[in-house]
Homo-oligomer: A and B are copies of this chain.
Amino acid sequence: GCGGPQLASAVGSRGAGSGRLGGSDAGFRRSQGARQRGVRHTRPRHRPGEAHPSLASCSGVCSPRRRRLAAGPVRRRHRRAEGAALDHPAAGRLPHPAGAIIAGLSEIRQDAVSGHWVIVAPERARRPHAFANAAEKPRRAEPCPFCPGREFETPPEVMALRDSGRANEPGWRLRVVPNKFPALKRNPEQELAPESPWRREGVGAHEVVIEAAEHDLTWSEFPIPKLAELLGAIRSRMTALARDRGVESVFYFKNHGDAAGATLEHPHSQLLALPMVPALVAAELDGAHRYHANTDQCYFCELAGREGAGGVRLILDGGPVVALAPYAARAPFEVWLLPKRHQARLEAAGEVEMEALARVLRAVLRKLDRALGEPAFNLLLHEAPARSGALVYYHWHFELIPRLARLAGFEWGTNMFINPVAPEEAARRLRETSAD
């Protein structure tokens, strides 16, 4: 055994999923799979009545007939279950988890929207040399550039939430400042130079959200109202940056811990306003558009409704916001958080979503901390691009990737992933882990 992603030993010991391969695809004709294989036909296809497996999780034995029926009245029934409580009681009692893995056999899965492939390979969890990329504990030495009293070490703030004090002085609970070493610079006055299709000037913005005055505080320890306030500030900056001249998309991300690429310990995250739509985001938009064109449904609305009603990949049903393990999870214990109401951009989220998001996010982080030993993680916000208006086919969501594995050559070259923990197994473990 060698190379490829490396896994926490905490995971390895229980990584292999149980159950059986869901037989529910037996009804599909072989020729469909064969046609799908050509070089020119690698995109996911959606036809009415042909549900992507991520939407086909049943609450009982999952027969082909059942699954086909699920596209009809069952879907509407699931829709009505939106107000279900946290930790849906039916979730723990599934006799045959749809899509689970026979121990020792891999299964290859494609995301319905992005089109990326994942090899779910429980066999890989048995490897030696596995290790956990636990986020390093903050070591307080002296005030860092993000600590109160060191405001002069950052560029002047563009936003702050404060209990007292004036701009760029102590007394703040949260600050947003331009990155001191920006990848892109905001310059609304600048005349944009002529461009080639393959080149843009580096105009945009690169901001840092300093999320708390306390150097040592992690999101797992944030009070819910503080986390909701932070999410509101992110929404506010996303909205403002999206209106900047020349900005086509805004990307929010948090790197927590050394293994996730963070270089400073003080709790912070980042915003990049870009003069184009990145390729992976464009591919996801295309996929979501195709899905909607073929089914007349928003994929993410269906996903949130189905999983919220007790799917095998449900982690937490938080009322307006649901946390789930994606069908084609790229990393062990990957989590998606999304609202049940259709909202293309975070800008459209109301206070009810923001409060629920804060609650679900903190619970999920505490579950991950407990199950995996405070792992490093990346948190990414996906939303419709800045100029796209209220798209009917796209739906904002957060993706949370614990960085237990190191990305190696295979992932770099293919955007495929090898995941040694089936998402059904990850969801089950996280459901069973306390968030207290």
Judge if A408 is at the interface, Cβ distance under 8 Å. yes
Q: CA separation between A247 and B268, bound complex, in Å?
A: 45
Given A39-B388, A106-B202, A121-B184, 13 further pairs, Cβ under 8 A:
A4-B255, A33-B197, A53-B198, A106-B183, A106-B185, A107-B201, A114-B279, A120-B202, A261-B408, A261-B409, A274-B416, A378-B409, A378-B412
Q: CA separation between A409 and B276, bound complex, in Å?
A: 18
Q: CA separation between A245 and B194, bound complex, in Å?
A: 51
Residue of B nearest to A130 (CB): B263
Q: CB distance B28 to A195 under 8 Å?
A: yes
Chain B residues with CB below 8 A from A263, complex form: 1-3, 6, 127, 129
Judge if A139 is at the interface, Cβ distance under 8 Å. no
Residue of B nearest to A124 (CB): B181
Q: CB distance A107 to B202 under 8 Å?
A: yes
Residue of B nearest to A121 (CB): B183
Judge if A116 is at the interface, Cβ distance under 8 Å. yes
Q: CB distance A200 to B378 under 8 Å?
A: no
Q: CB distance B6 to A279 under 8 Å?
A: no
10 contacts between A and B (CB under 8 A): A2-B146, A2-B262, A3-B269, A4-B261, A6-B263, A33-B194, A110-B197, A117-B276, A254-B409, A280-B414
Judge if A44 is at the interface, Cβ distance under 8 Å. yes
Closest 7 pairs (CB-CB, A-B): A106-B202, A261-B408, A253-B409, A33-B195, A278-B414, A378-B409, A380-B413
Judge if A182 is at the interface, Cβ distance under 8 Å. yes
Chain B residues with CB below 8 A from A385, complex form: 39
Q: Say which residue of B2, B26, B121, B146 sits within 8 Å of A202 (CB atoms).
A: B121
The copy count of this chain in the complex is: 2
Q: CA separation between A16 and B426, bound complex, in Å?
A: 44
Q: CB distance B106 to A412 under 8 Å?
A: no
Chain B residues with CB below 8 A from A129, complex form: 263-264
Judge if A367 is at the interface, Cβ distance under 8 Å. no
Among A26, A30, A33, the most chain B Cβ lie within 10 Å of the Cβ of: A33
Q: Which of A159-204 contact B (CB under 8 A)?
A: 179-185, 194-202
Q: How extensive is the interface on chain A, given as a class?
A: 35 or more
Per-residue CB proximity of A97-113 to B under 8 Å, as 1/0?
00000000111111010
Per-residue CB proximity of A276-295 to B under 8 Å, as 1/0?
11111111011000000000
Tell me, rounded to whole Å, the shortest Cβ–Cβ distance linking A308 to chain B.
Answer: 21
Judge if A415 is at the interface, Cβ distance under 8 Å. yes
Judge if A304 is at the interface, Cβ distance under 8 Å. no
Q: CA separation between A255 and B183, bound complex, in Å?
A: 28
Q: CA separation between A270 and B194, bound complex, in Å?
A: 45
Q: Mark the stretch among A72-80, A82-90, A399-407 that contacts chain B.
A: A399-407
Chain B residues with CB below 8 A from A5, complex form: 261
Chain B residues with CB below 8 A from A388, complex form: 39
Given A3-B270, A194-B33, A415-B280, A262-B408 contact (CB < 8 Å): yes
